[in-house]
Amino acid sequence: MQGRSGDLVVAVDGPSGSGKSSTSRGVARALGLRYLDTGAMYRALTWWLLQSGVDVDDPAAVAMAAKEPEIVSGTDPDAPTITVDGADVSGPIRTPEVTAAVSVVSAVPEVRAVLVGLQREIIGEGGIVVEGRDIGSVVMPDAALKVFLTAHAAARAERRTAELAPGSATVDATEADLARRDRIDSGRAASPLAKAEDAVEVDGTDLTLDEVIATIVGLARDSRRVS
């Protein structure tokens, strides 16, 4: 390999349904890097709060409980894992109940402080592709490559609906929910969804997944001369 990828950090931000997870995992595989889904961490905490009977609409209650669970994220792009207090929650965190509550929980400043700290520990010296909402702007503002991945609302809704259980939601309902989450994520006071000033915007509306991955891999290689 030419150049060094061991300390490379690729930050991939963008709204819900833009394809960040599939894209980031593909980029990590192509470059031989680790992978971190920060959204799964927020979902894991949200799941734990719901299971523990914490009122997720009460910011003070959420803030008080945010440090209690032990959340551990695996970084293998071929088999990413997420556990809470040692239990695998990769399935439960994708339920409609968690999806409906995660943006509200994520808006609590104390939640972001706890999880951003964990994320920075995992990122460490680099060698990783990290996806989320505020990676390039807050978590790792010094990342070598910052990408803001987006797509038209209709395309995002179609992709997200296809990921859900058959018949569980219509495209229109999914689009409305994505718009709701976008408003919360972009309007929150703590680390709002925003494109970092030096991020490269990639619009995946008319691109295949492989094309989006190839685009970002090319950007990473250009930024660090990594083969």
Residue 72: predicted pLDDT: 98
Q: How many residues does the chain have?
A: 227
Q: Is residue 90 part of a domain?
A: yes
Model pLDDT for residues 176-217, shown as the tens digit of each residue: 877 787 777 777 666 677 788 999 999 988 899 999 999 999
Q: Is residue 83 part of a domain?
A: yes
Give me 100's structure tokens. Answer: 């409906």
Give CA–CA dist 64/147, Å, rounded. Answer: 33
Residue 82: predicted pLDDT: 98
Give CA–CA dist 134/191, Å, rounded. Answer: 6
Asked if 139 and 119 touch (Cβ cutoff 8 Å), the reply is yes
Q: What's the chain's average pLDDT?
A: 89
DSSP 172-214: HHHHHHHHHHHHHHHH-SSS-S---TTPEEEE-TTS-HHHHHH
User: Which residue did the predictor score with more confidence, 219 or 6?
Assistant: 219
The residue behind tokens 């250009």 is 222
Residue 69: predicted pLDDT: 98
Q: Is residue 66 part of a domain?
A: yes
Q: Is residue 63 part of a domain?
A: yes
Give CA–CA dist 16/133, Å, rounded. Answer: 9
Which candidate, 112, 113, 87, places its Cα nearest to that of 102?
112
Residue 2: predicted pLDDT: 35
Asked if 4 and 82 touch (Cβ cutoff 8 Å), the reply is no
Residue 98 pLDDT grade (very low, low, confident, very high; cuts 50, 70, 90): very high
Q: Is residue 2 part of a domain?
A: no
Residue 158: predicted pLDDT: 79
* CATH (domain of 72): 3.40.50.300
Model pLDDT for residues 14-70, shown as the tens digit of each residue: 988 888 999 999 999 999 999 999 999 999 999 999 999 999 999 999 999 999 999
Mean pLDDT of 98-113: 94
Give CA–CA dist 190/82, Å, rounded. Answer: 24
Strand 9-13 and strand 87-88: the pairing is unpaired
Whole-model pTM?
0.86
Identity of the amino acid at 182? D
Percent above pLDDT 70 for the chain? 91
- State which residues form the domain around 172: 9-224
Model pLDDT for residues 106-156, shown as the tens digit of each residue: 999 999 999 999 999 999 989 999 999 999 999 999 999 999 999 888 888
User: Three-state DSSP class for 104?
Assistant: helix
User: Three-state DSSP class for 140?
Assistant: coil
The total of structural domains in the chain comes to 1
Strand order in the sheet with 87-88: 71-73, 82-84, 87-88
Residue 193: predicted pLDDT: 74
